[in-house]
Structure 1
Amino acid sequence: MSTENTSRKPIKLALLMCDTPIPSVREQFGTYLDIFRTQLQLSNPNQSFPFTLDGFDVVDAQEYPDLDSGSAEDGYRGILISGSAHTAHEDVPWINKLVAWVAEVARTHSEIRLIGICFGHQIIARALGGVCERNPAGWEVGVTDIQLTDLGKEVFRTQETNIPIQQMHLDHVTSLPPGFELLGSTAKCPVHGMLLKYPEDAPRYAGLISQEDKNIAPSLPKTDLLSRTHIITVQGHPEFTTSIVSRIIDAREASGRMNEAVVAEGRANMARSHEGIGLVGRAIWRVLGVETEPDK
C-alpha cells in the first residue's frame, strides 16, 4: 500500500453479526467478521482504500455500535447486517431487539448507510414495513442468476439481464417496505434486493463525508445513483465462496435440513462464477462513497 493510501482516513464500518459460522467454516475462514473483511478487501477499489470493520454480536451478547458519541464525520459510514441460520420473522427477544434497533437507526441516523445481506436483507425489510416469511418454493442454494430490474442494472453498472450471486436461504421477502425499490428477483424469490434513496431535498452524503477527501463520494458524478442511496440489500451472499457454501451444504445435509434434491442442486451450482467481489462488491463500496473502476 502506498504512502498516499495509508495517509487517508479509514472509512469506519460496523458489522452486526447475526450468527456464528459452523465449525468447519470457522476453522478455515474465521468468524463472519473475518469473512466480511475479506470480501470488502477483495472488492475494494484497487484493494487500496483503507477501512476498519468492527464486529458486534447481536445474538448472544446483544451488543450494538455506539452511534451517539463523537462527530458524524468520525462515526460509522456504514453498518452491514450479516446472514444467519436463524429465521428473520421469528418472535424471539434478540431478533425483536435487532428489528427495533434497525428501524430506529434508519429513522434517527440517516447519515449512516445500511447494507443488508440475506438475513440482514430480511431484517431490514421487516423493520421498515416489508414482509418476510418462509418460502413455500423451498431453498435457493449455490450460485443463482438474479433477473435485474432496470434499477438493478443501474445499481450494479451492467447491461446484463441477469447476474449470478451465491445463495443460501429458505426464508425470503415477499413485499417491499414503503419507499423501497426492487433490484431483482428469481422465479422462487420475488425480492432479491432492494434500495432506498435519500429524499431529493436531502443534503448529498447526509453531511457525513469530508469534502476534502477526493477519493470518496464528492468525486462521484452528481447523478450517480449510489451516492444518493441510504439503504441497499441483497438476498444473496456476496461474502460466500464455493468452499464456504460447500461446507454449509455438507452440514445441512447431515442435519437433515436439506433433502437430497436440494443438496444435489446446490452442489451443482456452487462452483459457478459469481459477482460477490465483482458487481455486487463494488456497488457496496459506491454506496459507502468510494468510486470504483468502471465495471466491464
Structure 2
Amino acid sequence: MGSQPTPPPIRLAILEADTPVPGVRAKYGGYGGVFTDLFRRACGSLSPPQSLESQLDLSAHDIVNDLDSYPDPETLDAVLISGSKHNSFESDEWILRLVQYTKRLLEGGRVRIIGVCFGHQIVARAMGNEVGRSVRGWELSVVEMALTEEGKKIFGKDTLRIQQMHRDEVHSYPPGTIPLAHTDVCAVQGYYIPKRLIAVQGHPEFTEPMVTEILGMRHEGGIIADGVYKDAMSRVGNEHDGVLIAQAFLKFLRE
C-alpha cells in the first residue's frame, strides 16, 4: 500500500477589517500578520507538529482602505473575516461591501468562512440576522465560555477560555447554524455549519500584550470606564485557549 498523497495547503484569505493598534502593528504589520502568527503556533502544536506552509497558503487583504482588494472566490478555499473596532451594523460603504461579499460566498457554497468577533457578526448579518449593541455592555479580557455538546466535540473540552473585546453582539443564532458556546454576558458566542462556516465572538488571535495595549488606549480615550478597565486588567494575563481554537479552525478547513 502506498502512502496517501499529502493534501495541498488550504488557500485562506484573511480579510483585514481594521488596522491594529501601534504596538501590534509594529510587531505584526496588519491583522494578516497576527493571524499568521496564531496559525503558525497552532500548526506547531499539532501532533505531530506541522509547518504553517504545509497547511495554509495565506493572503491578507485590507478591505477597509482598499475596496478593490477582495480576492476572487475562484482562487480561494476559505476566508477569515477579522475583528474590528468598527460597528458591524453600520452602513459604511466598505461594511456593506463586506456583507455583500460574504453573502456571495454563502450562496456559492464552496468557499468556507471563519468569522472572528466583528467577522462573526458580519457573517450573521449576511445571513439575515440582527446585530447590535449588547444591553450588558462590554465583555473584555479572558472569559470562560460554556460549550454546547457540539462545542465540546469541536474544541475537545468542556469549557473554553478566550480573550474578548466587544460590546456588540449577534442577537440570535443565524438560521441553520449549530450553537457552540455562550456566556452570561453574550448568548451567541459561536456557531457552526459543517463544511461551510465557523464563527466565534471572542479573539483567539489576541495575546496578553495586545489586549493590554487595546484596553489602555480605550481606557485613556474614555471608551472604557475605570471599574470595567480595572476588572478587565485583572484577567488579561489568564490562560486562554486561542491556539486550541485555531486548531479547531484548521480541522474545520479540512472537514
In the superposition, the TM-score normalised over structure 2's length comes to 0.92
SS at 1:288 equivalent:
helix
Larger CA Rg, structure 1 vs 2: 1
The match for 1:14 is 13
Query: Which aligned segments of 4 or more residues in structure 1 are displaced greater than 6 angstroms?
Result: none
Does residue 168 in structure 1 map to residue 165 in structure 2? yes
2:60 is the counterpart of 1:55: yes
**CA 1:50–1:177 in structure 2 vs 1: closer, same or farther (change >3 Å)?**
closer
Q: Helix, strand or coil: the match of 2:140?
A: strand
How far off its partner does 1:92 sit?
Answer: 1.5
Partner residue, 2:3:
none
Query: Once the 2 structures are TM-superposed, how far is the Cα of residue 57 of structure 1 from its aligned partner?
Result: 1.1
Structure 2 gap segments, 5+ residues each? 1-5
1:286 paired with 2:242, answer no
**Which secondary structure does the structure 1 equivalent of 2:254 belong to?**
coil
Structure 2: which amino acid aligns with 1:87? N
Distance 1:167 1:76 in 2: 29
Q: One-letter code of the match for 1:242?
A: E
| RMSD, aligned CA | 1.6
1:143 match: secondary structure: strand
Query: What is the number of residues matched between the two proteins?
Result: 244
Alignment of 1:229-244 (within 5 A): 229-244=195-210
> Is 1:27 equivalent to 2:26 in the alignment?
yes
Distance 1:286 1:50 in 2: 10
Tell me, in whole angstroms, the C-alpha distance in 1 between the residues paired with 2:9 and 2:247.
17
- State whether structure 2 residue 72 is matched by structure 1 residue 66: yes
**Cα pair 1:194 1:233 within 8 Å, conserved:** yes
TM-score scaled by length of structure 1: 0.79
Partner letter of residue 86 of structure 1?
A: H
2:241 is equivalent to residue 275 of structure 1: yes
Unaligned 5+ segments in structure 1 are: 1-6, 69-74, 198-228, 291-296
Letter in 2 for 1:173: V
Q: Amino acid of the residue matched to residue 82 of structure 1?
A: S
Q: What is the one-letter code of the residue matched to 2:247? A: R
Structure 2 counterpart of 1:51, one-letter code: L
**Does structure 2 conserve the Cα–Cα contact (< 8 Å) formed by 1:84 and 1:119?**
yes
Deviation string, structure 1 residues 277-296 (Cα, Å, up to 9, x no partner):
02x11110001117xxxxxx
In 2: Cα distance, 1:104 partner to 1:29 partner? 30
Output the CA distance in 1 between the equivalents of 2:94 and 2:197: 22
Q: Report the secondary structure of 1:272's partner residue.
A: coil
C-alpha distance in 2 between matches for 1:59 and 1:137: 28
Identity %: 37
Deviation at 1:34, TM superposition (A): 0.6
Q: Contact 2:177/2:193 (CA < 8 Å) preserved in 1?
A: yes
Distance in 2 separating the partners of 1:8 and 1:38: 22
Query: How much has 1:8 moved relative to structure 2?
Result: 6.4
Matched with 2:86 is 86
Work out the CA distance in 1 between the residues paired with 2:212 and 2:28.
13
